[in-house]
């Protein structure tokens, strides 16, 4: 789940993720996002902002208590004239700046009777004490029989049918949002000890305040004006002033979790009516939301529905992700006669990751609403009829409509329109039709989200007096601790302090050369040198070898990069080097064209996808004498390019000349001698070609590829288009050829291959599949280096993704110079067997089933079937696979790797 999705990205990404924290990051007192997309928990740094003229020191302040005088934390204060709301702090206190005048103020707390007061604000603050009494229960009377269902189901059917209506009803709105975030991190003693030995701050508390003005236009356009923000975070370069737009409970997925108002809600939830009470002229029903299977990506809690309009009055819901408990509370208020909007939010998250305890809370108040209603959807007397519980009424309404229709056709006069009554089935059809018609009018239907953010130049420079003048949610005593209210530094100041200069002390330079470092040499230019220990490995051709990567990069709209690798083998006593110059030209938000020149003299694996990781090969060689990595020497030069033809179509191509030279083993060194075992020759084993050794030869290669995603959709962020890859499948067509006859080189062949790759995400899990096939045409002038190779794995460690390699396949046994068909499928399920256990599910454990198939022209059919547990300890994946060939069972193996993307997606996009 993405906690930045809860607050930051609530509506924008419609998904929720949690990232585990980086210890060093936490100790540096960096209050920023800690999100889960490559492996870790998300801290929820919320910031959005409003700014404007500083108000005078007038308004209302006070405390809201229960009938017994106990403070009511997080109660809602709503000012009708201002269409503004706030919430009390943990001590039940509120502080709402208002101009002098008379106001109607509502004080609300779930389970308590709402109190409405008329308050006159004079030349100062009016101090108010409000006591809210317990809400009187008014459960409706109904007769229970063996066939009766809970009355909550009839209410929820109408609320679910109305959800699309309320999504479409608001044509546009704007609102001011204030957010206060407070977090506590309990760092283990070991980390504290390490931090005390280094110049690091051990930070336990985080505080941020933000204000923004947000704008929305149906169906998917959002604009945010960030005007002010502050935090005790010292590294403002890491702070992102993100949008708080508000997750929409009427959407099928609420921030990535199945909404109780989703059309599929009855498949995920049971409902129970627990209370009914009057709020002014409105009857409110309290519905208990009970998940059919507890865990992540579903809610449990209560949702309150307004009888008659079937809109949301408030909700308090809970879910889990990665072992963290997430509580969401929203209170709504009528901002017009037909629209209820959330005026206060509370988000609580608590849990731990590897011993680091975390607790975060975000309070948000929305004010100064301006709403424009879609008049074509505005019903004055809308009545919804549940066919299941109101059959006679539904039949009578149908007959009435038929009579009116007949009269309309028989008379030429104008008839009084009938009451706007619909059965739920009719209403769903009408809303779907109107939604389709609305989408046809969209200028860019492929853009599912358009978000723009503008940051005020004074956003980080407001003083304490400014915040004291507008803060609607008072700080608690803990939040007033010295240092927590410190105004955030400017981004530029931190960038300067973080900039490393090459002309520093000798010790720093020596350390950088030895262990690697990254240096900023100007505004857009960076240089990075790797450590020789970074890629220190062993293989039977070079013996112990190391590689030093060097990279020079210029960032900007057009990116330039110069990178190279220097390599040396201690046993072979051979130096190798390669380099690449890349220039990327970005013409507009989606068109990124790239060209690169590359060349050098280097060692390459026979499979250019490099299925054997050098580090893994090192340990398998030294411990078990399994030298899986097979390499040859390649002297080469070439040019490659990428052209984004359209937003959905990409063309790639390149040419390369190369001289390939065979390499032999030069060492039999090992850590553990094993009787009867030795290293295999540096030549792959293949069914089609018993002897894969080759003589030195030259090749002139040409490659071209075309990829196309029909119907691809996008999200636009500040003018840049970002594709939603899972929206539609990717179709690929590739050609690879060696032009020996034309260039006088030694290799001549032509290969065509096509494929399709599709990823589909849903509330219950993820389905991914990749199908490909092709054939090679040649007259015998082809080297084993040019065979079609398939990514296999004979080690216990998996480095390839589920669609990138087989789990038990030999590296080169199935390599072919003929035709082939490959199929890979994986289903990752939120609930299956072990993931149905509650605590495993909320800890993020997911299960997967995989079936992979390979057929080549001269080899048996190969099939492997596997079961996996993912996100163990938030990032580890363990799989069990069996392999089968034509003549039956072949192998069984356990594979350990990193969970895909290190992210648990809870449905949604």
Q: What is the mean pLDDT of residues 484-507?
A: 44
pLDDT tens, position by position, 21-43: 343 333 333 323 323 333 332 32
Short-list 212, 208, 176, CA closest to 456: 212
Of the listed ranges 178-192, 451-465, 512-526, 576-590, the least confidently predicted one is 178-192
Confidence of residue 419 (pLDDT cuts 50, 70, 90): low
Number of structural domains (the chain) is: 1
Q: What is the pLDDT of residue 187?
A: 75
What's the pLDDT score for residue 671? 94
pLDDT band (50, 70, 90) for residue 291 = very high
Task: Mark residue 834 as left, alpha or beta (left: phi above 0; alpha: psi -120 to 50; beta: remaining).
Answer: alpha
- Most confident among 4-18, 360-374, 733-747 (mean pLDDT): 733-747
762 occurs within a structural domain: yes
More confident residue, 304 or 46: 304
| CB contact set of 769 (below 8 Å; sequence gap of 6+) | 757, 758, 803, 823, 824, 825, 826
Q: Is residue 874 included in any domain, yes or no? A: yes
- CA–CA gap between residue 670 and residue 720 (Å, rounded): 53
Element at 153 (helix H, strand E): helix 152-169
Give 580-638 pLDDT, tens digit per residue: 999 998 776 667 899 999 999 999 999 999 999 999 999 999 999 999 999 999 999 99
Look up tokens 């005026």; give the residue.
343
Task: Report d(CA 244, CA 175) in Å as an integer.
Answer: 11
Residue 668: pLDDT band with limits 50, 70, 90: very high
Stretch 442-464: mean pLDDT, rounded?
A: 84
Please spell the DSSP secondary structure of 790-814, one letter per residue. Answer: -----SSB--S-TTT--SS--SSTT
Contact 795, 628 (CB under 8 A): yes
The confidence score (pLDDT) of residue 172 equals 92
Range in 4-13, 382-391, 691-700, 860-869 the model is least confident about: 4-13
Per-residue pLDDT averaged across 450-477, rounded?
83
Dist. CA 336–CA 309, nearest whole Å: 13
696 lies in some domain: no
pLDDT band for position 234 (cuts 50, 70, 90):
very low
Share of the chain above pLDDT 70, in %: 83
What is the average pLDDT across 656-672?
Answer: 96
* Most confident by average pLDDT, 238-252, 582-596, 893-907: 582-596
User: How many Å apart are CA 833 and CA 757, to the nearest integer?
Assistant: 27
For residue 365, which phi and psi values (nearest 5 degrees)? -125, 135
pLDDT for position 556? 82
Give the pLDDT confidence of 188-223 residue by residue, as tens digits.
766 666 555 454 445 578 888 888 898 999 888 999
d(CA 4, CA 9): 5
pLDDT of residue 508: 60
Distance CA 747, CA 578 (A): 23
What's the pLDDT tens digit per position in 670-727? 998 888 889 999 999 999 998 999 999 999 999 999 999 998 888 888 888 888 877 7
Q: Band of the pLDDT at 642, cuts 50, 70, 90?
A: very high
Rounded distance between C-alpha atoms, residue 152 and residue 154, angstroms: 6
Q: Which residues contact 107 (CB under 8 A, 6 or more apart)?
A: 64, 75, 76, 77, 114, 115, 116, 117, 130, 132
Asked whether residue 21 is domain-assigned, the answer is: no
Average pLDDT estimate for 104-118: 89
- pLDDT at residue 281 tops 80: yes
The pLDDT mean for the chain works out to: 83
CA distance 629 to 693: 15
Assigned domain for 80 exists: no
Token pair 């020149």: residue: 597
Please say if the pLDDT value at position 91 is more than 70. yes
HSE-CB of 28 using CA atoms within 13 angstroms: 13
Percent of the chain past pLDDT 90, that is, above it, reads 47
User: b/e string for 702-722 if b means 16 or more Cβ within 10 A?
Assistant: bbebbbbbeebbbbbbeeebe
8 pLDDT higher than 50: no
- Report whether pLDDT(4) > 90: no
889 part of a folded domain? yes
For residue 238, is pLDDT > 90?
no
Q: Does the structure show a pLDDT above 70 at 233?
A: no
Going by pLDDT thresholds of 50, 70 and 90, the confidence category of residue 139 is low
Q: Strand 876-885 and strand 221-231: pairing?
A: unpaired
Segment 309-320 mean pLDDT = 94
Q: Is residue 542 part of a domain?
A: no
| 646 CA to centre of own chain | 25
Query: 219: cis peptide before it, omega within 30°?
Result: yes
CB 667 within 8 A of CB 627: no
Residue 79 lies in a domain: no
State the pLDDT at residue 15.
36
pLDDT at 19 over 60: no
Q: What is the pLDDT of residues 331-373, one digit of tens each?
A: 998 887 778 888 888 889 888 877 778 888 888 888 888 899 8
Tell me the Cα Rg of the chain: 32
Q: Residue 588 has what pLDDT? A: 67
SS (H, E, C) 704-732: EEEEECCCCEEEEECCEEEEEHHHCCEEE
Burial class (CB in 10 A: 0-12, 13-18, 19+), 521: middle
pLDDT value of position 509: 61
Region 141-166 average pLDDT: 81
Among 231-245, 311-325, 600-614, 794-808, which is the least confidently predicted range? 231-245
Domain ranges, residue 834: 706-909
């Amino acid at each position: 789940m993405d906690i930045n999705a809860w607050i930051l990205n609530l509506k924008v990404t419609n998904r929720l993720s949690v990232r585990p924290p980086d210890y060093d990051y936490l100790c540096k007192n960096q209050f920023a996002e800690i999100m889960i997309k490559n492996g870790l928990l998300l801290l929820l740094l919320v910031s959005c902002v409003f700014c404007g003229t500083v108000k005078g020191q007038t308004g209302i302040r006070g405390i809201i208590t229960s009938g017994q005088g106990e403070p009511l934390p997080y109660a809602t204060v709503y000012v009708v004239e201002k269409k503004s709301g706030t919430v009390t702090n943990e001590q039940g206190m509120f502080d709402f700046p208002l101009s002098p005048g008379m106001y109607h103020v509502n004080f609300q707390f779930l389970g308590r009777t709402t109190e409405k007061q008329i308050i006159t604000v004079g030349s100062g603050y009016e101090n108010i004490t409000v006591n809210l009494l317990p809400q009187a229960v008014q459960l409706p009377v109904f007769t229970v029989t063996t066939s009766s269902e809970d009355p909550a189901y009839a209410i929820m059917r109408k609320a679910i049918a109305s959800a699309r209506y309320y999504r479409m009803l608001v044509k546009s709105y704007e609102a001011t949002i204030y957010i206060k975030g407070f977090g506590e991190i309990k760092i283990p003693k070991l980390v504290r000890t390490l931090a005390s030995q280094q110049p690091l701050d051990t930070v336990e508390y985080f505080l941020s305040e933000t204000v923004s003005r947000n704008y929305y236009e149906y169906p998917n356009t959002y604009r945010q004006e960030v005007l002010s923000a502050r935090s005790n975070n010292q590294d403002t370069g890491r702070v992102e002033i993100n949008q708080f737009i508000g997750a929409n409970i009427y959407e099928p997925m609420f921030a990535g979790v199945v909404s109780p108002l989703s059309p599929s809600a009855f498949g995920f939830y049971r409902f129970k009516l627990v209370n009914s009470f009057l709020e002014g002229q409105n009857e409110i029903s309290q519905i208990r939301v009970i998940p059919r299977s507890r865990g992540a990506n579903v809610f449990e809690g209560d949702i309150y529905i307004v009888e008659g309009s079937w809109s949301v009055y408030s909700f308090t819901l809970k879910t889990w992700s990665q072992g963290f408990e997430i509580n969401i509370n929203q209170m709504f208020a009528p901002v017009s006669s037909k629209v209820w909007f959330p005026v206060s939010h509370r988000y609580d998250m608590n849990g731990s990751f590897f011993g680091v305890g975390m607790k975060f809370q975000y309070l948000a108040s929305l004010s100064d609403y301006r709403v424009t209603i879609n008049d074509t959807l505005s019903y004055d007397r809308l009545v919804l009829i549940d066919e299941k519980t109101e059959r006679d009424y539904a039949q009578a309404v149908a007959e009435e409509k038929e009579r009116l229709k007949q009269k309309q056709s028989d008379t030429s006069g104008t008839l009084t329109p009938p009451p706007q009554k619909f059965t739920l089935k009719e209403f769903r059809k009408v809303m779907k039709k109107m939604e389709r018609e609305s989408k046809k009018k969209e200028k860019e239907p492929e853009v599912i989200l358009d978000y723009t953010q503008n940051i005020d130049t004074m956003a980080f420079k407001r003083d304490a007096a400014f915040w004291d003048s507008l803060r609607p949610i008072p700080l608690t005593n803990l939040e007033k601790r010295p240092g927590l209210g410190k105004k955030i530094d400017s981004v530029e100041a931190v960038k300067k302090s973080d900039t490393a200069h090459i002309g520093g002390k000798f010790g720093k330079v020596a350390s950088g050369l030895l262990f690697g470092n990254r240096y900023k040499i100007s505004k857009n230019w960076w240089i990075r040198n790797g450590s020789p220990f970074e890629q220190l490995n062993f293989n039977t051709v070079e013996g112990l070898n190391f590689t030093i990567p060097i990279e020079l990069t210029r960032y900007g709209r057009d990116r330039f990069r110069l990178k190279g690798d220097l390599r040396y083998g201690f046993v072979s006593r051979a130096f190798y080097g390669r380099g690449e110059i890349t220039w990327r030209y970005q013409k507009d938000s989606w068109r990124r064209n790239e060209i690169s020149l590359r060349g050098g003299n280097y060692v390459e694996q026979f499979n250019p996808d490099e299925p054997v990781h050098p580090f893994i090969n090192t340990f398998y060689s030294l411990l078990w004498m399994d030298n899986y990595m097979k390499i040859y020497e390649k002297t080469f030069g070439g040019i490659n390019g990428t052209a984004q033809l359209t937003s959905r179509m990409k063309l790639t191509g390149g040419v390369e000349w190369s001289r390939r030279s065979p390499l032999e083993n030069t060492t039999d060194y090992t850590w553990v001698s094993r009787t009867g075992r030795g290293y295999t020759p540096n030549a792959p084993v293949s069914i089609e070609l018993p002897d894969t050794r080759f003589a030195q030869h030259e090749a002139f290669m040409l490659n071209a590829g075309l990829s196309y995603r029909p119907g691809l959709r996008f999200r636009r962020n500040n003018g840049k288009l970002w594709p939603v890859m899972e929206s539609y499948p990717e179709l690929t067509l590739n050609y690879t050829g060696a032009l020996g006859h034309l260039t006088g080189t030694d290799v001549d062949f032509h290969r065509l291959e096509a494929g399709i790759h599709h990823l589909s995400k849903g509330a219950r899990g993820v389905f991914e599949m990749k199908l490909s096939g092709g054939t090679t045409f040649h007259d015998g002038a082809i080297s084993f280096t040019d065979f079609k190779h398939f990514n296999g794995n004979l080690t216990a460690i998996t480095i390839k993704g589920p669609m990138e390699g087989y789990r038990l396949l030999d590296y080169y046994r199935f390599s072919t110079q003929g035709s082939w068909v490959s199929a890979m499928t994986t289903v990752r399920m939120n609930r299956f067997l072990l993931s149905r256990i509650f605590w495993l599910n909320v800890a993020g454990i997911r299960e997967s089933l995989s079936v992979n198939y390979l057929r080549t022209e001269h080899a048996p059919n190969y099939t492997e079937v596997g079961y996996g547990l993912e996100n163990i300890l938030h990032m580890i994946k363990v799989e069990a696979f069996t392999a089968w060939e034509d003549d039956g069972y072949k192998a069984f193996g356990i594979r350990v790797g990193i969970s895909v993307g290190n992210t648990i997606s809870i449905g949604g996009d």
